[in-house]
Chain A
Amino acid sequence: MAFFFEVLIGGLLSGVMYSLVALGFVLIYKASGVFNFAQGAMVYFAALTFAGIIDMGVPIPLAFLGAFVVMIALGVATERIVLRPLVNQPQITLFMATIGLTFFVEGLAQIAWGASTRRIDLGIQDEPIPWILDNMNMVVSSFDLTAAAIAGVLVAVLAAFFQYTKIGRALRAVADDHQAALSIGIPLQHIWGIIWSVAGFVALVAGMLWGARNGAQFALTFVALKALPVLILGGFTSVLGAIVGGLIIGSTEKLAEVFIGPMVGGGIENWFPYVLALFFLLVRPEGLFGEKHIDRV
C-alpha cells in the first residue's frame, strides 16, 4: 500500500510541474482566446536564457531578473510584430501565427545561446527526504515538494492579480470580448503586451524548475505536450483548472504506467493522459473549470 501512495504522491508532484506549463497557456487564452502553440518554446527560451546568464557568472536572483526582462521584451515584441497586425482576425489565424512563433523562438534560443544543454543548479537536492523514507518507506523528493510550493505561490499570486487589480479586471474584459473592451477604452494592445509578459514570467518559472531537473535543453519544448491534456481536463480559461488538471493527469498517468503498463508492455504514460482528456471532452467539453459557452440564437 505504501508503494501505491508513493506512486500517487510522485504523480501529484509531477502533475504540479505540468500545471506550471499549462498556466502559461491559460493566461494567454484567457486574455486573447488564442491557443499559444509557442508556450513550450517559450519555456525552453526562458530556461536557456536563465542558464546562459548564470553561466556568465551572474548570481541566481539577478539572472532570474535578467531573464524576466528578456521574457518581457519577447512578450512585447510578440504583441507588436505578430499579434497587433492580426487584431480582429479569426482565431485560427492567431493560432497559426503562434505556430510560426514556435519555430522562430526555438531558433532564436539556439542562435542566442547555442544548442548545448546547460545545467541549472538552484541548490535544491532532487533526493528522497530521509525522514519520510525511514518512517513511511516512501520516496518523496525534496525538489518536487519545493516545485509544488512554488507553483502554489504562483497560482495564488496570479489569482489575486486577476481578481483584485485593475489590470486583472481589464484582462478579463478583453478575454470576454475584444471589441467591447476597446469600445469602453481598454487599451487592447497594452493588455496583450502585459499578458504575454506574464506568460513569459510563468514560462521562466517553469523553465527554471524543469531545467534544474533535466538541464536547459531543447527537449523542454516537449513539456508543452504534457500540458495539453491538463488544459483539456482543467479547462482553457481557468488558473485553478490548470492546477487541478495537472494533479489529475500527473497522478493517473503515473498510476497507469506503474500498475497497468507492465500488463501491456509499458510506455503508456505519454498517451494515457490524452485518452483520459478525450473522455472528459465527451462528458464535459469545456473542462472541469472552463467557462460554459452559450450562444444566443
Chain B
Amino acid sequence: MSKMKKTLAVLLASSALLAAAPAVQAQANDQFVSLLSYRVGPYGNNGISLFGGWIDYMNLVNAKGGVNGVKLSWEECETEYNNARGVECYERLKGKSPTKGTMIHPVSTGISYSLLDKTLADKVPLVMIGYGRTDAIDGRYFPYAFPLVTTYQMQASAMLKFIAQRDGKKETADLKGKKIAFVYHDSAFGKEPIEVLRAEAGLNKFELVEIPVAHPGIEQTAQWQQVRQHKPDYVIFWGWGAMNSAGLQAAQKVGFPREKMIGVWWSGAEEDTVPAGPGAKGYIAANFGVTGKDVPVIKEIMKTVYGSGKGNMKDQSKVGSVLHARGVLHGIITVEAIRTAQAKFGKRVMTGEEIQWGLEHLKIDQKRLAELGAAGMMPDTTVTCSDHEGSGRVMFQQWDGTKWNKISEYIEGNRKLVRQLLDASAKKYAEEKKITPRDCAAVDAGAPAKAAAKKK
C-alpha cells in the first residue's frame, strides 16, 4: 500500500470513528433547546450572527444561574437553510431530551412549513419570530405555531404607512396617486406580503408594480432597469441573503435613490449593507428595535460572556449588530416563554405542552425589557390564544454608511385588513385539514392548556 493510500485509509477510519461516536445527551435537569442553525452555505453569512447572539444570551442566562435555577443546554444542527435538512435536524434533536427540544425555531419560512404538522403531532411549539407561516397567528387553528412579534403582512402594511409619513403625510390613504414598486425574492418568503400590498393598493388608490427576482438574486440588472422604466416613488425591497447587497448595488447602478428604498427586516443588517459599500448609504429597512453595543444587555454579554471567554462570535465586531441583536431577542423570547410557563407549572424543566401555555400567555413589555437590559429592542408583545403574533408593530432604521440609526417610532399596519386576510387563509387551512377550532375565549380566560385543537 502506497504512503498516500495509507494516509487516506487512516483518515477514513478516523472519520468513521468520529461519526460513530455517541452524541452528547442533554442532562435531565437541563432545559434542552434544539437549535436548527445555518453557519455555512448560501445563508451562513446571516446565520453566524443570529445564532451567535442567541447562544450568547443563553450563556448569559446560565452565567446568572439559569431560568429560576434551571440551566439551559443546547445543541446545534446545521440545516444550511435547506428544508430536508431542517426536518432531519428536528427529528435528530427531538430525541436528545424528554422535552423534545423545548420549542423549535426553524429560522426559515420553508422549514417552518415542513415542520408545521410534525410539531403539532409532537406537541412541540413552533416559534417563528418575524418569518414563517403567518396565518398561524390564529391560535384557534394553530395551537402550536407562533409567528411571534410581527408578521410579514403587518410589516408590509406598516411600510406603506411609514412611506406616507416620510412624505409628510399621516396615513396610507395619503399615498393616493403614488407609484410603489415591490422588488421581491421570487419564493414563498417574497410572495407572502403580495396579497396585502394588492389589497392596500386597491383601498388606497396607489399603483403597485411587482418585480420578482429569481433566486439567488446575484444579478438584478434587468429588475432595476424595470424600476428605472416605471419611475416609482418608492421601492419596497423584500430580499434575503445575497439578493440584498446585489440589489443595493443594482439600485446604485441605475441611479435609484437608496433613501427611497425600504427593506424588509431580513434585508436590513450589516451583512447586507457592508458588502454593498457606498451603494448602501441612505438605505432604509424595517427592524424589531434598537441594536448596537450600547444596549445594556449587549454590554452585559460583552462583559460576562466574552469576558469569561464563552462568547460565540469569532468576529466580536459583530456583537450588537442587527442580526446578533435579533439572535439575542430569540434568546430573550425563548427564556421568557420558559419563565412564564414555570410561573404556572413550577420551577423545573418544562415540557412542550407547558411551553405552549407559556407562549400563549407571554407578555413582554418595555418594563420587562428594561429589567432584562433590552429596552427598545422589540415592541411590546402580548400573546393570547387568538393572537399568536402579539404585537404587529415595526420600527425603521437607516444606514448612514457605517451604522444603522433608528429613524422612526413603532408603526402598526392596517390590523383590520391584515387580520381579515390571515383569518380567511387560516380558515381555509382548517377546512382542508378538518380542524375543529379551539375556544379561545375559554383559553384566554384561563382554561387548562390541554384545550388544544383536535382533528375531527
In the bound complex, CA of A222 to CA of B241 (Å): 13
Task: State the Cβ distance, A23 to closest chain B Cβ, in Å.
Answer: 17
Tell me the chain B residues, 189-214 only, with Cβ under 8 Å from chain A: 210-214
C-alpha gap A215/B47 in the complex (Å): 17
Q: In the complex, how many angstroms separate the beta carbon of B280 from the nearest chain A beta carbon?
A: 10
Interface size of A in residues (CB-CB distance below 8 Å) = 47
> Which A residues touch B218, using CB under 8 A?
210, 214, 219-220, 222-223
Interface size class of B (residues with CB under 8 A): 35 or more
Q: Given A128-B255, A214-B275, are A116 and B48 also a contact pair (CB < 8 Å)? A: yes
B252 smallest CB distance to A (angstroms) = 6
Q: Are A14 and B219 also in contact (CB < 8 A) when A116-B315, A267-B186, A270-B214 are?
A: yes
Is B216's CB within 8 Å of the partner chain A?
yes
Minimum CB–CB distance from A210 to chain B (whole Å) comes to: 8
A254-B225 contact given A116-B271, A214-B249, CB 8 Å threshold: yes
Q: Across the two chains, which residue of chain A brings its CB closest to B4?
A: A81
- Which residues from A are CB-within-8-Å of B274? 117, 119, 215
Give the distance to chain A from B78, nearest Cβ to Cβ, in Å: 11
**Contact call B255/A127, Cβ cutoff below 8 A:** yes
B177 interfacial by beta-carbon distance below 8 Å: no
**Nearest chain A CB to B165 CB, angstrom units:** 30
Q: Considering the complex, which residues of chain A in the window 1-21 have a beta carbon less than 8 Å from any beta carbon of chain B? A: 3, 6-7, 10-11, 14, 17
Asked if B41 is at the interface of the complex by the 8 Å CB criterion, the answer is: yes
Q: B308 interface residue, CB < 8 Å from A?
A: no
Assembly CA distance A265 to B213 (angstroms): 11
**Which A114-167 residues have a C-beta within 8 angstroms of B?**
114-119, 121, 126-128, 133, 139, 141, 143-144
Contact, CB under 8 Å: A10 / B275: no
Residues of chain A within 8 A (CB-CB) of B241 are 219
Q: Is the CB of A141 within 8 A of B211?
A: no
A226 within 8 A of B: yes
The verdict on B221 contacting chain A, using a C-beta distance below 8 Å, is yes
Q: Is A284 an interface residue (CB 8 A)?
A: no
Question: A220 contacts which chain B residues (CB < 8 A)?
Answer: 218
Q: Which residues A100-120 have CB closer than 8 A to chain B? A: 107, 110, 114-119
Residues on A lying within 8 angstroms of B by beta carbon are 3, 6-7, 10-11, 14, 17, 107, 110, 114-119, 121, 126-128, 133, 139, 141, 143-144, 210, 213-215, 217-220, 222-223, 226, 253-254, 257-258, 261-262, 265-270
**Closest 9 interchain pairs by CB?**
A215-B275, A219-B242, A115-B44, A257-B222, A267-B212, A270-B214, A267-B186, A266-B212, A254-B222
* New A-B pairs, 16, CB < 8 Å, besides A266-B186, A266-B210: A7-B222, A7-B225, A10-B222, A114-B314, A115-B47, A116-B48, A117-B274, A118-B275, A126-B253, A128-B255, A214-B249, A217-B45, A219-B218, A219-B241, A258-B226, A267-B212
Instruction: List 22 A-B residue pairs with CB atoms under 8 Å apart, sorted by A's residue number.
Output: A7-B225, A10-B221, A10-B225, A11-B222, A14-B219, A110-B44, A114-B314, A119-B275, A126-B249, A139-B255, A214-B242, A214-B249, A215-B242, A215-B245, A218-B45, A219-B42, A219-B218, A219-B241, A222-B218, A258-B225, A258-B226, A267-B213
